[in-house]
Structure 1
Amino acid sequence: MKQQTTAMPENCVAVIGAGPGGLAAAKWLMAHGLDPVVFEASARLGGQWNSACATSAVWPGMRTNTSRIMTAFSDLDHAPGSATYLTQDEMLDYLERYAFVSGLLPTLRLSTRVESLEAAAGGGWLIRSASGGRERSEVFRRVVVATGRCGTPSVPEISGLSGFSGSLGAIHAAQYNGAERYRGRHVLVAGCSISALEIASELAYGGARVTVANRRQRYVLPKLISGVPTEHAMFNRAAALLGGVLPPPELAAGLRAKVLAVAGNPAQFGAPAPDDDIFAAGITQSQQFLPAVAEGRIAVMPWIEEIDGNRVLFRGGRRGEFDGIILGTGYRLSLPFLDAATAATLGLDDVHMDLHDHTFHPDLPGLAFLGLYDLVGPYLPVLELQARWISYCFAGVVPMPSQAEMAEGVGRARAMRAGPPAVPMHVAALGFARNAGVDPDLSARPDLERALLFGPLSAVSFRLDGADALPDATLRVQGAAAAFGAVAHPAFTAEEQAIRGLVRREALSSAA
């Protein structure tokens, strides 16, 4: 018997995924009079932060690599006394509190998997879902896809990998469950991502003999710079605005000089020297990796040429025997529920999809994508800004981008396929804020200008102007900037004054 299809009310918006992005989308849709219906395959919300979720890649003892200020939404701070870097359990508790105080619990359909999403014959989007043996077919006028970027491990093609015979086997970092089983054993960690270096460091200080193999050596930032969380100093508004006024070679040289000043060159610690072009080399983060290399706890090798049993041949001819391999090689973009026609329209592959500002497509009306980019830096402020823009568009607070604007944006996305897939957090944040009309006017707040330029790019710093401004935003922005003793007063340093002069015209023009 043919399954009956239900046409959902015009006001209903489907949100696929109840991780941070999906929760933010639901909160802001509801705040503007729309009724979100949140589909979540797991029995509990939280996405990556829910360790019981099938696609979660967290491990016991894992902590955030961004501070509590930058790992929060604008409407809910972390509990007083929280550590600078939060545990997985604390983050899951935070997201559950956010859902509760935002009134989202009735919107959640937990243990409900979306099996397919396709354009409906009469307009809108047909979602087929399954829960507890029951299947549903529903048509929504609007849908937000917020399933996250890190659900499907990317496993590189390495000759002999499937036949690796070390006693601890070969796994992806998504399957890592702590250092204990590796104690006293020789482990190869492949990759230079944050998770790869954090796992390698944990293993090294947990009693394992560790080798790291890199395709290329990246510059490595610590989590803290002189006691200040790195993202407060590196991913701020001034850094984003500089990108609009400096030519790329000058921008790269300035960024490299700053990274070397605060973190040093990996070659100083005994790792390979990265490419002089910091954009070609890339940036990663770990508090303990480079010190562990300097102490001889971690050896660094070139990439893997081939594997024969438990023996690994590295490029350049060096070899080693290993008990286990952990692949910290990232994740591929995967949206298996999309029908073939929609995936083809998006140009979807393992890395890319062609969207206007990572969100809309002119040929897919009513469909939005949230948080499916490879972001460098803190996610939650960016997810909230994108969620606000989407909700503002759907609710009519700001106009939807025109067909011509979206077509131009898709063209930009296609042109960028040849470049690095990663998006810097501060660049994404300002882009979404401008689209939503909530980028603060620096000229209107001279006493807050230093905090806004050189303090953390927190979610609450985008609640000063535009829709949904908060009366206490100024005090909270000042408090976030002054945290850790970073920006405690409005007087600029000489270096900051010089940067301010460079970006002032860009900042003023973007706020106008």
Structure 2
Amino acid sequence: MATGASGRFCIIGAGYAGNGLARAFAQAGIGYDHFEATGHVGGNWAHGVYDSTHLISSKDSTQYVEHPMPADYPTFPSWAQMLAYLNDYVDCFGLRENIEFDTEVVRAEPVDRTGMAGWLVTLSGGEVREYAGVVVANGHYWERNIPAHPGTFAGKQLHSKDYRRPADFGEGGRVLVVGGGNSASDLAVEAAATFGRADISMRRGYWFIPKTIFGIPSSEWDRARVPLPVQRAAFRVLLWLSHGDYRRYGLEKPDHKLFAKDVTVNSTLMYHLRHGKIRPRKQIDRFDGRTVHFVEGSSGEYDTIVWATGFRTRFPFLDESMFVWEHGQPLLLEHSLVPGYANIYVFGLVAPRSGAGKMISLGADVLAEIAPAQRMFPVPLSALVARRVPARSSILAGNAELLARLRLLRRVVRGHARRARLLGGGLAGWSARRAAAPVPSALREIEEKVA
């Protein structure tokens, strides 16, 4: 049986983003239930990082606006400091008592076809609760992505999420790290420091940005509202002065524009490459026992492969066919609204070029304002917003761009709310006309699925 919770919302996940949202809902007086599948606050910071992890963004750009990090924290805090900070945040705002730990949401489904009538949420214990809406903040660093290659590798294999300390590399000392992102760079350096040498395999060229430029954290350079082409040009000059031609390090030249894909923020990989401690390898072609063959014809013998190959975005508790997927990511309006549906919001599915603190703080406040506004409209709010802003699948964005788009979302919703108050009884007809306006081509597939 479903237990009613009229007007209450369900928040899924007590990590960096989910707790920021809970704070905003609590301060706005919005009733909510908060579920966390594990027994800990902090999400990936509690169970998915290695012992030597430090932030790649500065503490100033990572901290919540409403709760600064301790003054004695270094510029790039450790994972333990970050986890302590997240726990302090929860306690400071009195959020812990409302978190139901060790309680997984196994199913969330709309009461009607679009969610206008609310959502039914099934918990791991079998209980079903009814909510006005659902906010998905389950994070995107938990379903491991491990690519498949022909043949069988006879040595040890582990994903970066399962690595904690050098002992996890296993015996033998011949380590191949696969990937070109932040974790791959860190673990290749750690393996080289442990065994004297390590190899790193990359399938393409990446942009590598040092953690500081002129002594200023790289994440701090993204704060000003500077057009992306100007940022790109300036950073390319700075990177050329810092690193020169990547091919001097044995790396491929990036095959994409700077910031078009995730960048790697690391100051030690290049050092180890030039000192011969890390050897770059091409993409893997196939396995043969402990021999790994690479696409250009070379090969190497290894005892351990570490897959630092990222994660897949998943919402296992939802019918994932409700989304239109592009390049492994769902189409969303301003990274939060699900086109064609009401009262469901995705929060935190963003990879900003700098720390996400300000984005989470402002985004949570915006969502706490627009989520209750849905009850003013007889059609999904997403259908109204879609006439002003396009749906996108990319999770990459600059911090200034993200903040500007959040403010735009707030203005759009406030504009619709003002019209609703002025029209009064004519609201239903006005909303219906707005929802029936020409549909952007990117949304047609989504709305056809809902219809």
Which TM bucket (shorter chain)?
Answer: 0.7 to 0.9
* Alignment partners' CA distance in 1, 2:256 and 2:123: 50
- Deviation for aligned residue 1:349: 7.1
Q: Quick check: 1:190–1:212 contact (8 Å CA) kept in 2?
A: yes
Using the alignment, how far apart are the partners of 2:397 and 2:248 within structure 1? 28
Using the alignment, how far apart are the partners of 1:302 and 1:261 within structure 2?
Answer: 26
Structure 2 CA distance for aligned equivalents of residues 144 and 87 of structure 1: 29
Deviations 1:388-418 (A, max 9, x none): 2111112459x999555433478542xxx5x
Match of 2:19 in 1: 23
* Displacement of 1:383: 2.1
Letter of the structure 2 residue corresponding to residue 302 of structure 1: K
- Residue aligning to 1:456: none
The alpha-carbon deviation at position 114 of structure 1 amounts to 0.4
Match of 2:304 in 1: 324
Distance 1:83 1:31, change over 3 A: same
Q: Which secondary structure does the structure 1 equivalent of 2:329 belong to?
A: coil
Shift of 1:170: 1.2
- Structure 2 partner of 1:212: 200
Partner of 1:358: 335
Once residues 151 and 181 of structure 1 are traced to their aligned partners in structure 2, the CA distance between those partners, rounded to angstroms, is: 19
TM-score (norm 2): 0.83
Distance change (3 Å), C-alpha of 1:85 and 1:355 = same
Structure 2 residue matching 1:278: 3-state secondary structure:
coil
Deviations 1:446-491 (A, max 9, x none): xxxxxxxxxxxxxxxxxxxxxxxxxxxxxxxxxxxxxxxxxxxxxx
1:408-457 CA distance string (max 9 Å, x none): 478542xxx5xx653334422332244346xxxxxxxxxxxxxxxxxxxx
In the TM superposition, what are the counterparts of 1:137-156 in structure 2 within 5 Å? 137-156=128-147
Of 120-129 and 96-105, the range deviating more from structure 2: 120-129
Partner of 1:485: none
Structure 1 residue 123 corresponds to structure 2 residue 117: yes
Structure 1: distance between partners of 2:206 and 2:31:
44
What corresponds to 1:9 in structure 2?
Answer: 6
Q: Say if 2:401 is the partner of 1:427.
A: yes
Equivalent residue, structure 2, for 1:488: none
How far off its partner does 1:206 sit? 2.5
Q: Which residue of 1 aligns with 2:105?
A: 114
Structure 2 unaligned blocks of 5 or more: 412-451
Q: Structure 2 CA distance, aligned partners of 1:16 and 1:96? A: 17
2:143–2:312 CA contact under 8 A, matched in 1:
yes
State whether residues 225 and 400 of structure 2, in contact with CA within 8 Å, keep that contact through their aligned partners in structure 1.
no
Equivalent of residue 90 in structure 1, options 65, 81, 97: 81
Flag the 1:297–1:129 CA change in 2: closer, same or farther, 3 A.
Answer: same
Q: Is the 8 A contact 2:225 2:401 kept in 1?
A: no
Q: Quick one: distance in 2 between partners of 1:34 and 1:270?
A: 55
Partner of 1:441: none
Tell me, in whole angstroms, the C-alpha distance in 1 between the residues paired with 2:249 and 2:336: 41
Quick one: distance in 1 between partners of 2:308 and 2:210? Answer: 18
Mapping 1:79-478, distance limit 5 Å: 79-121=70-112, 123-130=117-124, 134-160=125-151, 163-166=152-155, 169-182=156-169, 185-233=173-221, 235-239=222-226, 242-243=227-228, 252-275=232-255, 277-278=257-258, 283-338=263-318, 340=319, 343-348=320-325, 351-396=328-373, 402-408=381-387, 412-413=391-392, 422-436=396-410
AA in 1 matched with 2:158: I
Contact 2:333 2:382 in 1 (8 A): no
User: Could you say if the C-alpha distance between residues 74 and 280 of structure 1 is closer, same or farther in structure 2, counting changes exceeding 3 Å?
Assistant: closer
Q: Residue 53 of structure 2: SS of its match in structure 1? A: coil
Moved more, 184-193 or 287-296: 184-193
Question: What do the CA deviations read for 1:10-66 (whole angstroms, capped 9, x no partner)?
Answer: 1x2110000011101110011111122110011111101112xxxxx2011211111
Query: C-alpha offsets along residues 240-290 of structure 1, whole Å, 9 cap, x if unaligned?
Result: xx13xx5xxx76444422332344432344433334743567621111000
Cα RMSD for the two superposed structures: 2.7
Gaps of 5+ in 1: 52-56, 438-512
In structure 2, what is the Cα distance between the partners aligned to 1:350 and 1:136? Answer: 35
* Secondary structure of the structure 1 residue equivalent to 2:306: strand
**2: CA distance between counterparts of 1:109 and 1:158?**
41
